[in-house]
Structure 1
Amino acid sequence: MLDRLTDYAECLADPDRWAIATIVEVSGSVPRPAGTSMAVRDDGRTIGSVSGGCVEGAVVDAALECLRTGEVELHSFGYADDDGISIGLMCGGDVRVLVQPLRTIPSGILSELALPGRAPRLVRELPLDDAARDGGVLTFGRRLTTEPSARTRVLLPTEAASDLDDRVRAALELGGTHVVEIADRSQPECPVIRRLLVESTTTPARLVIYGANDFSAALVQAAALLGRHVTVCDARPVFATHARHPGAQEVVLMHPAEHLAQETDAGRIDARTAIVVLTHDPRFDLPVLDRALRADLAYVGAMGSRMTHEKRMQELRAGGLGEEHLARLHSPIGLDVGARTPAEVAVSILAELILVETAARAGVSAASPRTLREVSGDVHDTRRVCAAEPRSPEGAMAWM
């Protein structure tokens, strides 16, 4: 439910009337990922969507029923047959949805979730298939609500209790939505005795743009839609203005190399940071790229023609950068989608950034991009997106 907390302000303020449906697990091709949620009020009003329409009606009915009974329920939806008689996903995937009345979450936790400027975290107990439980809320393994009834209470063995904090903490630090299963290793079958839904948000990943122009203005707007924390830096006061970059969190008037050094020394540049160089001036872009390519960053890209790129590579080599560092540079920048306008180029750059980040999470090199029509398998199969394949040197546009 953390995916749209800002939209749930009225729900958190009036928890007795609302239930939250959260996608817990997915398999196959599904419209929305785990962690996607929808709020349902007792009069049928909804906020959000968990499937884009396939099972929305059934989820609403389940939420209204859980509001009536106060029970926490776990629902599974699979493939819907072609005649439309069964309720399910026409895309062929499977999804499990946790439906929980907001009133079952302690008010103190709801207040904490609503605090501005915080990265909220929430751990909820999932009902087991063979014994429904009360859906209690936990933080790092410590129960914050009353214990379940004696009929459903499960006592953790020592080994499960000892590793609960570490596993939950690791999932929280990773961010996103995860299911942590706790097994009873004292029994030969090691049965699962607890299943925890771990949700956490992380601070937005940074996108630092060096060079203020029409392309940076378009990139700021597009990146804001992806939830990036965007910084624009340029040494020219006439271009480095908030008026030209209304979606940026920061617009800095400074020499780009000085800014990057300052941010790095302050610990504000990390492995989730993407740097895009749009300066077109070797006095600015070379020192930035030299430092950025030596760091562990999510993405480093630079705009320029192929001639500009080759000259830039020669200068960086002369400055001591090895081939392993130069291989991290995405230049000419962006995917080859035929983009021409600044808005189109911004989409191309962000598409490449998403591709590179997805591959990095899988621990492989990014594959050459293809259209979905050209490939087989599930639409959302990241294994295909992350297949390690060589990219053609002609696979990017040469924007001036």
Structure 2
Amino acid sequence: MTRHGSVWTTLYEAWATEETSGLATVVRTSGSAPRPVGSAMVLTPRGRVVGSVSGGCVEGDVLERARAAILNGIPQEASYGISDDDAFAVGLTCGGTLDVFVEPVDLDTYPELAKVMDSLRAGSPVAVATVLAHPRAEAVGAHMVLDAEESSGRLLPQDTPAGLLERARSLLRNGESTLLSYDTEGVRVFVHSLTPPPRMLLFGAGEFAAALASIGRTMDYRITVCDARPVFTTADRFPDAHQVVVARPAEYLSQEAADGRVDERTVIVSFSHDPKVDIPLLETALGLDVAYVGALGSRRTHQRRAAALLDAGVSTPAMARLASPVGLDLGGRSAAETAVSIAAEIIATRHGGHGARLSDREGPVHVMATVG
């Protein structure tokens, strides 16, 4: 099951019993919005709430809209901005804006939900295109579910804007969700990409790997710990890992890449202090198109490591991708503190951050990504 699992599983369980739930999804943000596009919250017919759209500041109002959608079966869109001086006003104190689409979900309104769940359970990427606005009122709330090859749903061909399928598949390939507007046709469609979580591959079965596995899991990575030493590489020593593998690290990574289980979102960290393990592993890792490659060690260890990798034929541009010594300079020393510094560097690399204190700089807290 993917990181989206709890919301969609809860939604599906009510759907399968032919009951109606209310689904709220963040479809657009600007400024310092508390939750990203695609964040979702479900209200079941029995009053259970799962997920979040704002971290709390507007969710009371969203829940009322979800209750209304359950009762009247009508989808609606709501916008929330900066709250005013009235302490009871509904708004965002963070200074951003948030658009939320609230819809009733049952067998009639969302017959495609079974296909969505099949894909999520299989760990296969899937996108849901939902009509938010349309000149033909009955098209609002219609869904189209698509993967790399097929599509299905209630969205009729005459209601489908030109190029929507191609655009949605492009977003799915990149794991992006966004609101598409077709002004000349008065149509707006939200494309929600639901992709398997990225992998975090940790090599070296020690306390540093255990600490990073714990943090990485909360970051929605799928964690694998790999080491060739069976006495150390056991599931009970790494309770937060999804997978614990006894294998030679370089051979395991090569096979995973050959089998298509390593992609541009994958994070690789080596905690090995043995050059016989470390060098072939990093040589393999730096030859792959992955998000991050890091290696634990001192400055002296890094110098020896860099020289050995260059001697092994690793190019200078490839070497520039290696985070070694791994992590941001946070001043910590323990395994847990080191894991935090590594996680911080992974986040900064992923989102283009600089690791500076927010209180020491000006401008928005969150840098808004643009979708071309």
The interval holding the TM-score normalised by the smaller chain is 0.7 to 0.9
Structure 2 residue 339 is the aligned partner of structure 1 residue 315:
no
What amino acid is aligned across from residue 364 of structure 2 in structure 1? D
Which of 269, 294, 310 is 1:301 aligned to?
A: 294
What amino acid is aligned across from residue 154 of structure 2 in structure 1? T
TM-superposed deviation, 1:105: 5.5
**Is the CA contact (8 Å cut-off) linking 1:2 and 1:199 kept in structure 2?**
no
Structure 2 residue 134 is the aligned partner of structure 1 residue 125:
no
Structure 2 residue 329 is the aligned partner of structure 1 residue 344:
no
1:180-221 CA-to-partner distances (Å, cap 9, x unmatched) read 2235xxxxxxx2432111112212211111111111111112
- CA gap of 1:294–1:84, structure 2 versus 1, over 3 A, is same
Which of 350, 354, 362 is 1:368 aligned to?
A: 354
Which of 94, 97, 100 is 2:97 aligned to?
A: 94
Which of 306, 309, 318 is 1:325 aligned to?
A: 318
**Is the CA contact (8 Å cut-off) linking 1:73 and 1:132 kept in structure 2?**
no
- CA gap of 1:347–1:192, structure 2 versus 1, over 3 A, is farther
Looking at structure 2, the residues matched to 300 and 63 of structure 1 have their Cα atoms a distance apart, in angstroms, of: 43
Which of 56, 59, 75 is 1:56 aligned to?
A: 59
Which of 140, 144, 147 is 2:153 aligned to?
A: 144
**Is the CA contact (8 Å cut-off) linking 1:176 and 1:199 kept in structure 2?**
yes
**Is the CA contact (8 Å cut-off) linking 1:16 and 1:101 kept in structure 2?**
no
**Is the CA contact (8 Å cut-off) linking 1:181 and 1:194 kept in structure 2?**
yes
> How do residues 283-302 of structure 1 correspond to structure 2 at under 5 angstroms?
283-302=276-295
Residue in structure 2 matched with residue 17 of structure 1 by the alignment: 20
Residue in structure 2 matched with residue 166 of structure 1 by the alignment: 166
Find the residue that maps to 1:16 and give its secondary structure: coil
TM-superposed deviation, 1:146: 7.6
- CA gap of 1:78–1:226, structure 2 versus 1, over 3 A, is same
**Is the CA contact (8 Å cut-off) linking 1:30 and 1:91 kept in structure 2?**
yes
Structure 1: any 5+ residue segments left out of the alignment? 148-153, 184-190, 360-366, 384-400
Residue in structure 2 matched with residue 398 of structure 1 by the alignment: none
Find the residue that maps to 1:114 and give its secondary structure: helix
1:161-189 CA-to-partner distances (Å, cap 9, x unmatched) read 3x222112212332242212235xxxxxx
Looking at structure 2, the residues matched to 128 and 376 of structure 1 have their Cα atoms a distance apart, in angstroms, of: 40
Structure 2 residue 83 is the aligned partner of structure 1 residue 74:
no
Residue in structure 1 matched with residue 177 of structure 2 by the alignment: 177
- CA gap of 1:106–1:57, structure 2 versus 1, over 3 A, is closer
TM-score, normalised to structure 2, is 0.88
- Which deviates more, 292-301 or 115-124? 115-124
Structure 2 residue 190 is the aligned partner of structure 1 residue 197:
yes
- Which deviates more, 370-379 or 94-103? 370-379
What amino acid is aligned across from residue 112 of structure 1 in structure 2? K
Find the residue that maps to 2:220 and give its secondary structure: coil
1:250-291 CA-to-partner distances (Å, cap 9, x unmatched) read 222222222222223323222222111101111110111122
Looking at structure 2, the residues matched to 285 and 196 of structure 1 have their Cα atoms a distance apart, in angstroms, of: 48
Looking at structure 1, the residues matched to 336 and 260 of structure 2 have their Cα atoms a distance apart, in angstroms, of: 31
> How do residues 136-285 of structure 1 correspond to structure 2 at under 5 angstroms?
136-140=142-146, 144-145=153-154, 155=158, 160-161=161-162, 163-183=163-183, 191-285=184-278
What amino acid is aligned across from residue 170 of structure 1 in structure 2? S
**Is the CA contact (8 Å cut-off) linking 2:123 and 2:195 kept in structure 1?**
no
- Could you say which structure has the larger radius of gyration? 1
Residue in structure 2 matched with residue 186 of structure 1 by the alignment: none
TM-superposed deviation, 1:156: 5.5
TM-superposed deviation, 1:376: 1.7
| Number of equivalent positions | 360
1:301-358 CA-to-partner distances (Å, cap 9, x unmatched) read 0000111111111122222223211111101111111222212211211111111122
- CA gap of 1:192–1:93, structure 2 versus 1, over 3 A, is farther
Find the residue that maps to 1:76 and give its secondary structure: strand
Which of 360, 364, 368 is 1:378 aligned to?
A: 364
TM-score, normalised to structure 1, is 0.82
Looking at structure 1, the residues matched to 135 and 107 of structure 2 have their Cα atoms a distance apart, in angstroms, of: 20
Structure 2: any 5+ residue segments left out of the alignment? none
TM-superposed deviation, 1:31: 0.8
Looking at structure 1, the residues matched to 263 and 33 of structure 2 have their Cα atoms a distance apart, in angstroms, of: 32
Find the residue that maps to 2:235 and give its secondary structure: coil
